[in-house]
């Protein structure tokens, strides 16, 4: 049986291409891509109360606490365009946030349909990020900084995938190949779960 709503999460290390793939999935399934980074920036730009709180924390060089991150995501998922589904990118990023998301979705009688894990070898991620840093002239993306980011991903995000694997909703996708090849792998996995793409207009 095919399902017309899609509540999805995309997970992958920096340099895995999840931002690009996320946009493609959102377009194909007609759901908004909810990236915590984008939501933070939008709140800061709009000068909302949440945005001011986030800005103070970030300017002090601290990480946004789980409670506040979850509050901002809940706020975004309560908007009309997310009623039929969404694609989360960058949240939840640790076990505490998984609990917050579970609580929110359970309260709405919903659950995640699938977790897309973009599997990219560490060496490939480092190569892609180093290349991107060169192309964009980003001097802050040193080999040490990149390695530290990947360590955080491996230490904090691996346990999340363990939780979702136990629920049987993780689709591990080979993240090496052309953009189109990877997109097709993702679509095939979601289709196998009975998740229907939106008909082209």
Known catalytic residues?
Answer: 18, 93, 132, 138, 149
Cα end-to-end distance, the chain, whole Å:
22
Report the C-alpha gap between 159 and 192 in whole angstroms. 25
What lies within 8 Å, CB to CB, of 96 at 6+ separation is: 66
Q: Measuring CA to CA, how many Å separate 59 from each of 23, 37, 39, 161?
A: 29, 15, 17, 31
DSSP per position, 28-47: HHT--EEEHHHHHHHHHHHT
Report the C-alpha gap between 87 and 27 in whole angstroms. 10
Report the C-alpha gap between 94 and 116 in whole angstroms. 16
Report the C-alpha gap between 181 and 175 in whole angstroms. 9
């Amino acid at each position: 049986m095919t399902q017309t709503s899609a509540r999805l999460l995309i997970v992958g290390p920096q340099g895995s291409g999840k931002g690009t793939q996320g946009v493609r999935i959102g377009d194909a399934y007609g759901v908004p891509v909810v990236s915590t980074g984008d939501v933070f920036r939008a709140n800061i730009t709009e000068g909302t109360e949440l945005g001011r709180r986030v800005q103070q924390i970030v300017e002090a060089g601290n990480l946004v606490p789980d409670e506040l991150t979850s509050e901002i995501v809940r706020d975004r998922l309560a908007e009309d365009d997310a009623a039929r589904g969404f694609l989360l990118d960058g949240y939840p990023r640790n076990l505490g946030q998984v609990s917050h998301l579970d609580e929110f979705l359970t309260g709405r009688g919903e659950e995640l349909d699938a977790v897309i894990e973009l599997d990219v070898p560490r060496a490939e991620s480092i190569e892609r990020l180093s290349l991107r840093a060169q192309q964009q002239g980003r001097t802050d993306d040193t080999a040490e900084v990149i390695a530290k980011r990947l360590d955080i991903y491996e230490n904090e995000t691996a346990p999340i995938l363990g939780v979702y694997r136990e629920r049987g909703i993780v689709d591990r996708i080979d993240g090496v190949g052309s953009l189109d090849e990877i997109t097709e792998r993702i679509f095939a996995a979601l289709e196998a779960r009975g998740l229907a793409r939106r008909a082209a207009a």
